[in-house]
A and B are shown apart, each in its own frame.
Chain A
């Protein structure tokens, strides 16, 4: 009887294994070899007018500003 219950539990666990959700946090492998977008690159003539490479906070502020450029209700 105990063996039967154990077998049922194993089968049940196997059947329910697909119902879980995989964690979506970034791991080291998923990040890849790419440099951060705010990292300073060779002086680019295409930088946004009021931003210079190498400053993460300034980059995020720049992206937020650009994002709000798409918001009609914030103009």
Chain B
């Protein structure tokens, strides 16, 4: 089995926030902590696009690299997890993460910052699978129940795909081909626009 990955299809996401709700309910995530959130680009403008963002379980995770107490680990399935008994809540991972995944509960005065909390791909933590201790610290361990993350499994438009990276990539590729599209759906074209070749001149950007 390949590594577990998420991908969100911006053409399908309708910004319902169902994934956010499912995550919070399934894992008893406290107020102020959002393991998953929906980001909308050009909100309110015709053609707006939304994507659901959480920990992407990077193959070479920057949070793992910067953690001064080495509380992160990666499972055989490629899920990046951390040990809350080791975490000191310093926040380095928060600065290192390009997706804003690490979250910190603030339940006191003077900027008190608790231990880091993030998406676990519904795979719990280092405690015994399905134990009460694991549930209390990290939430539900659906992977050990033969299930995939709640956010992806309940997504009503199947915009958010989660699971074996190869399978997820195949599903997304099939969609793109069926739409008759290419890189403009998700890739260079989306990020930078299509270059227009003018005669005898360097490519110029199309105004969006």
Contact = CB atoms under 8 A, between A and B. Distances in A.
A13 interface: no
B167 A64 contact: yes
Interface in A29-55: 29-39, 41-42, 44, 46-48, 51, 53
A62 B76 contact: no
Contact of B76 (A24, A36, A41, A53): A36
Given A32-B74, A34-B81, A66 B163 contact: yes
B76 A31 contact: yes
Residue among B75, B142, B155 having the largest count of chain A Cβ atoms under 10 Å: B75
Interface residues of A, number: 35
Given A35-B129, A37-B123, A37-B129, A60 B144 contact: no
A37 B77 contact: yes
Given A31-B76, A46-B145, A41 B129 contact: yes
Interface SS, A side: loop
A65 B163 CA distance: 10
B178 A30 contact: no
Interface residues of B, number: 42
Interface in B135-181: 140-148, 152-153, 155, 158, 161-164, 167-168, 171, 174-175, 178
B17 to A, nearest CB: 19
A37 B161 contact: no
A68 B126 contact: no
Contacts of A66: 146-148, 153, 163
Contacts of A68: 167
B184 to A, nearest CB: 21
Nearest to A61: B146
Interface of B: 1, 59-60, 64, 73-77, 81, 83, 123-126, 128-131, 140-148, 152-153, 155, 158, 161-164, 167-168, 171, 174-175, 178
Given A64-B164, A70-B148, 15 more contacts: A31-B74, A32-B75, A32-B83, A33-B73, A33-B83, A34-B123, A35-B129, A37-B129, A44-B144, A53-B144, A59-B146, A64-B167, A67-B171, A70-B152, A70-B161
Interface of A: 22, 24, 26, 29-39, 41-42, 44, 46-48, 51, 53, 59-60, 62-64, 66-73
